[in-house]
Structure 1
C-alpha cells in the first residue's frame, strides 16, 4: 500500500528539485517501497493519465469515495485497469476496497472509452493513447550501447534484435510510438543503437546479463573522446574515473580500453556517496568490467596525485556534479491530468454564497487539480530562478577544482571533462578558467583540437558557443577568454534537435608526455585550486 503513497509524495514534494529519477533514487525522500516500483508506477500512469482521468470522472469515483485523493485515484485506477498484477495493496485495505466497490462501473467506463477509440484490445488501446497524448517535449530515442566486454553489435543484431528492421535513422525511430521493432545503428559512436522511445529492453536476457546497457548517446562521448580508437603511440596506461556512479561511462571506458589498448589496464573508479558506491559496484559486476577498481566512498579531490598506485595513470575521465539542465524527455517530472477534485469543488461552492449550497454539483464548473499543480510548479520554478546564478557559480567553482586536481597527476596526458548541462557557466567558462590556471600553464595543458579527436566526434557539427555568446554570458572575465580554435575543440549536444540526445558538453585537456623532471609542479608556481 505504501507504493501509492510514495508515488504521490514524489510528485507533490515541491521542496525537492531535480528529475524524476533523482527524486526517487537520490534519497531525498524517504520511501518505504522499492524505488524501481515507484518509478514504474509514476511513469506508466503518466502515459495514460488523460484516459484514466476520463474513466474516473465518468465513473464518479471521487463523488462516491471522498477518502480518495485525485492522485491516489489515478494510481489505483491505473493498476486496476492496466496492471497485470492488479492493485498492490491488501484486499482488506480501505482504499483498495473503495476501488473494488466500484470496479463494475470503472470497467464499464473503461470499455466505453476503448470502444470510442475503436480499439479491439488492450494493446491497441495503449498504442492509441500514446498517439493521442501530446508530447511534453520532442521525443527522444531510447539509446542502447552494446557492451563489448560481453557481446558485440553483430551478436545482438542476430539475437536480441533479430526481429528488428535495421535500415532506419534517428529521426524516424524518434517519431515512432508503441512497440515497433525498428532500430537505427549510430554512425557517431560505435556499438550504439537507437530504439523507439517506448521500447523496453529491460525484460530481455541481454539486458539482464549486462550485454546491452541503456546509455544516452551524448554520455558515450567522454570515454570515446578520452581513449580514441587506437593506441599506436602507446600512451594509454591506467585510468581514473573521478566521478563514477552509476557507472555507465566507467564500463564504457573499460570496454574501450579492452578493445583498443589492453585488457590489463586498470580503471580506478571514485564515488564518495555510500549508496551510489553500491550501485557502481553492482554495475561493474553486471557489465563484466573486471579491470575496474571501485574506490568506495572516495572523494576524487582527496586522492594524492603522487601516491604510488596512481603513477601510471595517464588518462582521467571527469563527469562531475552539475545542474542537470540538459536532461530532457522521460527524466522530467510529469504533470498528470488528474480527476476532478469533488471536495475542492464543494468547498468553492460553499464559499460562494448561501444560495450556492443548494445548486447541484453538476452545475458547478470543476477545477482540475492538475492546473493547481502546474501553477504551483511554475511558482516554484520562478522562485528557483532567483538563486540559479548563485548555484551555477558554486557548481562552476567545484567543477574547476576537480579538473585542476586531475591536471596535477604526474603521468597524466589527457583529461576529459563533461556535464549534462546547457549552461555556459558549467561548460566553456570552466574550461576557460582551467586553461588560465597556474597549473595548466606550468604543465603545458591545452585543449585537444578538433582535428585530433576520434573520427565520429571530429565530424560532430555542434561545437562550443560563439565568442560573442561567451562574453555576453558574463560567466568569465577578460583574463580567461577562449579563442575560436579552443571553442571549436569543445563539443555540445543540444536537447530537442534532430540528433536525439540530451543537452551535453564535453572537451578534452591534453599535453605532451611529461619528462621525469616534471613529476611535480614547483612549490611557488601553483597555490592550489580555484575558489
Structure 2
C-alpha cells in the first residue's frame, strides 16, 4: 500500500515539473527505491493508455475518493503489472470491483488500434516504444553464486531456458522463458516486462539487474584477479560490482564519486553483492593525484563519467518533454569528460582504460576520445575489440571504428558508447616485471615473501571494504 501511495506522489511531482523521476524517488522516504523507480517508470510509460482506460471505464466518477495519480498506478498494477500479487491493501478490493470493466476497456482499445500486445499500444517510433522491445538483462553475480546454479533455480520455478543465437531470438522472448546471452556467459535474458525486484535471488545479491551494454565496460577492461583498478565515477555501482566479480575479490578497486547520497546507496549495493575488495571515496577523480603511492600499481581504469544520458531508455520519463541536450550543456559535459579522460591517462602504470557513456552524442563520445588520443602523444591507442559487434563508432577520425556503440534498434540494449584505450609501450619509469605482475614482485627466496605478507597483513586494516 505504501508503495502505491509513494508512486502516486512521484508521478504527481513529475507532472508538475517538480523534478525528474529519479530525483523524486531518491528524495522520497520509501525504502526500496529500485522497486519504486521501476513502478513509476512503467506507469509513466503507459500513461496515455491508462488515462484512456480509466476515462472509458468511468473509474474516477465511480470512486470519487480515488485520486487520479493513485488510480493510474493501481490500474497499471492491475492490468499491466503484477496484478496485486505483492499485496494491494485496501485498494485491491476497490479495484477488483471494477476489474471486469477495466479489462474490457483495455481489450477494446487494442481492437480499436489493431494490436494484440500491451506494448504495441505505445506510440510507434517513440523512445518508450523502443524501450518496450529491450529485454530484461540479468547478470549472475559470480561472487555469490554461479550461472549454472542460477539457471537451475529458474528452471525449478518453471522457467524455460534456451540459448540466444540472434537478436530475433531476443525480440521473440515472452512468457516464463529466458535465454543465455551468446556474448556474456553470466548474462541471462528475460522478456522485457519481467520484474525481478522482489525475486529472492535479486534480494540476496545473487542477481544484478544490468543492461547488456552496461556490462560491456567491465568485461572489456578485463582486469585479472589481483589487479589494482580505479573506477573513476563509480556510483551507482553496478559496474563496480562487475569489476569485483571479474577480480574474484582479489586485488583492489579504488572507487570515486562526488555524490554522497549515491555513494551511500552504492555501498549498500556492494555489500549485498558481497564485494570486499573495494575502497570507496567521496572525492572528485580530477583531484586524485596520479603520483600518489596508493595508485602506483593501478593498471586498469574504468571511466564512465557524467553525461547527457541521451541513450538512456527512460530518459523521456526522467525529463518529460525534453529532446537532445542543448549545445551549451554538451560543451560543458564534453569539457569535463575530456579532462577526466586525459587525467586518467596520466597514471604512470596504466595499461588499459575503458571510457564509456550512456550518450548518443558525438561530442561526448568520439570527439572526447579523439582529443584525448591527440593529447597522449601516441602513448595510447584504441584497441580493436568485439569485431562482430554490429554497431561501431562514427567515422569521425581514423580508428574510430574500433569504438562500440549500442542502441535499441541495432543491439536491443540501451544507448551506449564504449572505447578501449591501451598503452602502446611500457612507461620507462615502470619495470616490465612490475607491469606484468604487480602483486608478485618479490625475490625468489622464501624469507622475503613471508616478510612481505606480514607487512601486507599489518597494512590491511587501513583498506576498509565497502560494507
State whether TM-score is above 0.5. yes
Q: In the TM superposition, what are the counterparts of 1:379-528 in structure 2 within 5 Å? A: 381=323, 388-437=326-375, 440-441=376-377, 444-450=378-384, 453=385, 457-467=386-396, 482=397, 484=398, 486-497=399-410, 499-511=411-423, 512-516=425-429
Deviations 1:378-433 (A, max 9, x none): 5x54xxx6x61110110000001111111121221222111011110000100111
TM-aligned CA deviation for residue 190 of structure 1: 3.1
Q: Is the contact made by 2:45 and 2:317 (CA closer than 8 Å) also made in structure 1?
A: no
Alignment CA distance shift 1:398-1:159 (3 Å): same
Q: In the TM superposition, what are the counterparts of 1:104-253 in structure 2 within 5 Å? A: 104=97, 106-107=98-99, 109-110=101-102, 112-113=104-105, 130=118, 133-134=121-122, 136-138=128-130, 139-162=133-156, 163-169=159-165, 171-172=167-168, 174-176=170-172, 179-183=175-179, 185-227=180-222, 237-253=227-243
Q: Is the contact made by 1:462 and 1:492 (CA closer than 8 Å) also made in structure 2?
A: yes
Alignment CA distance shift 1:419-1:84 (3 Å): same
TM-aligned CA deviation for residue 69 of structure 1: 5.5
Structure 1, unaligned runs of 5 or more: 119-126, 336-376, 468-481, 519-531
Secondary structure, aligned partner of 2:339: helix
* 1:39 corresponding residue in structure 2: 37
Establish whether residue 333 from structure 1 lines up as the match of residue 323 from structure 2: no
Alignment CA distance shift 1:73-1:430 (3 Å): same
State how many pairs are aligned: 411
Structure 2, unaligned runs of 5 or more: 432-467
Distance 2:306 2:6 in 1: 29
Establish whether residue 303 from structure 1 lines up as the match of residue 300 from structure 2: no
Q: Which has the higher contact order (CA 8 A, sep 6+)?
A: 1
> Between Structure 1 and Structure 2, whose CA radius of gyration is higher?
1
TM-aligned CA deviation for residue 61 of structure 1: 4.1
Alignment CA distance shift 1:273-1:161 (3 Å): farther
TM-aligned CA deviation for residue 153 of structure 1: 1.9
Distance 1:177 1:188 in 2: 17
Alignment CA distance shift 1:79-1:197 (3 Å): closer
* 1:121 corresponding residue in structure 2: none
Alignment TM-score, normalising by the size of structure 1: 0.68
Deviations 1:448-502 (A, max 9, x none): 331xx4xxx24323221113xxxxxxxxxxxxxx3x2x212211113322x2111
Distance 1:400 1:513 in 2: 23
Secondary structure, aligned partner of 2:289: coil
TM-aligned CA deviation for residue 137 of structure 1: 2.2
Alignment CA distance shift 1:264-1:31 (3 Å): closer
CA RMSD of aligned residues (A): 3.5
Distance 1:117 1:510 in 2: 54
Distance 2:19 2:298 in 1: 38
Distance 1:237 1:4 in 2: 42
TM-aligned CA deviation for residue 128 of structure 1: 6.9
Alignment CA distance shift 1:58-1:269 (3 Å): same
TM-aligned CA deviation for residue 217 of structure 1: 1.0
Deviations 1:315-374 (A, max 9, x none): 11100000111112x564199xxxxxxxxxxxxxxxxxxxxxxxxxxxxxxxxxxxxxxx
Secondary structure, aligned partner of 2:317: coil
Q: In the TM superposition, what are the counterparts of 1:259-270 in structure 2 within 5 Å? A: 263-270=249-256
Distance 1:154 1:430 in 2: 40
Please point out which of 68, 71, 84 is paired with 2:69: 71
Alignment CA distance shift 1:306-1:73 (3 Å): same
Distance 2:53 2:143 in 1: 48
Distance 1:213 1:86 in 2: 24
